[in-house]
Amino acid sequence: MKHTLSVLLRNKPGALSRVTGLFSGRGFNIESLCVAETLDPQVSCLTLVTRGNEQIIEQIMKQLHKLIDVIKVSDISEGEYVEREMVLIRMKAEAGTRAEVLRVIDIFRGKVVDVSPTSYTVEITGSESKVRAVIDILRPIGIKEIIRTGTVAMARAPKK
């Protein structure tokens, strides 16, 4: 089962490597990892997507919590949450395909951020599954290169 964990940690040199070292050292996997400063510059927030059964996820969360630099760990995929990933895709843009590329990215509400005589670079944002769908559709048209950010996620605000 896929889980999205949100980890607050002290923004200090080496703190991130404690987290990644924990995953490699204990044989847990990381599907994606995204990290940046929070509103408080002394604290970073890390969004981590991993897979495992209930027992493995419980171990991962407890092991993360045990790290001295970690402030808080939550499995936000347990409740309702929003997730977004951004992908930059450089498409072959030749006479026969230019129009089609534009049509597809329009459907996915993407936009062109760079143009060259032979390529378009497009930006698309969405859930991980939307990003995968875009890639699947664009692939046969001709993808030259893609860069993905990995998922960032946030639990939904309480409704009341």
Partner 1 sequence: MKQLTLRTGKPGVHNHFKEEPMSKIKGAKAIVQCLVEEGVDTIFGFPGGVILDLYDELMDSPIKNLLVRHEQGAVHAADGYARASGKVGVALLTSGPGATNGVTGIATAYMDSIPMVVLTGQVPRALIGNDAFQEVDIVGITRPCTKHNYLVSNPDDLVPVLREAFYLASSGRPGPVLVDMPKDVMASLVAYPEKTEIKMQTYQPTVEPHPGQVAKACKAMLKAKRPVLYVGGGVILSNSSKELTELAEKTQIPVTMTLMGLGAFPGTNPLSMGMLGMHGSYAANMMVAKSDLLIAVGARFDDRITGRLDTFAQEAEIIHIDIDPTSISKNVKVDIPLVADCKNALLAINAWLDSSAEFDKAAFAEKHKVWIEQVQEWNAKHPLSYQDEGEIIKPQYVIETINRLTGGDAIITTEVGQNQMWTAQFYKFNQPRQLLTSGGLGTMGYGLPAAIGAKIAFPDKTVIDIAGDGSIQMNIQELATAKQYGAAVKVAILNNGYLGMVRQWQELFYDKRYSGTPMEVTPDFVELAKAYGAVGLRARTKSEVEAVIKEALAINDKVVIMDFVIKREECVFPMIPAGRSTTEMLLA
- Residue 129, classed as helix, strand or coil, is helix
Supply φ then ψ for residue 50, to 5 degrees: -140, 170
Is 63 a residue that touches partner 1 (CB under 8 A)? yes
Is 37 a residue that touches partner 1 (CB under 8 A)? no
Q: Which of 1, 2, 21, 113 binds partner 1 (CB under 8 A)?
A: 21
Is 35 a residue that touches partner 1 (CB under 8 A)? no
Instruction: Tell the smallest beta-carbon distance from residue 97 to partner 1 (Å).
Output: 48
Is 36 a residue that touches partner 1 (CB under 8 A)? no
What beta strand segments (E) does the chain contain? 2-10, 32-37, 43-51, 70-75, 81-92, 111-116, 119-126, 143-148, 152-155
- Residue 133, classed as helix, strand or coil, is helix
Is 53 a residue that touches partner 1 (CB under 8 A)? no
Tokens standing for residue 84:
């977004």
Which residues, in sequence order, are CB contacts of 87 under 8 Å at separation 6+?
123, 124, 125, 131, 134, 135, 146, 147, 148, 149
Instruction: Tell the smallest beta-carbon distance from residue 100 to partner 1 (Å).
Output: 49
Closest CB to partner 1 among residues 40, 114: 40
Closest CB to partner 1 among residues 22, 30: 22
Query: How far is 70 from 49, CA to CA, in rounded Å?
Result: 17
Q: Which of 18, 84, 98, 132 binds partner 1 (CB under 8 A)?
A: 18
**Count of positions on this chain that bind partner 1 (CB under 8 A):** 22
Residues in touch with partner 1 (CB under 8 A)? 10, 13-14, 17-18, 21-22, 25, 40, 42-43, 55, 58-59, 62-63, 65-66, 68-71
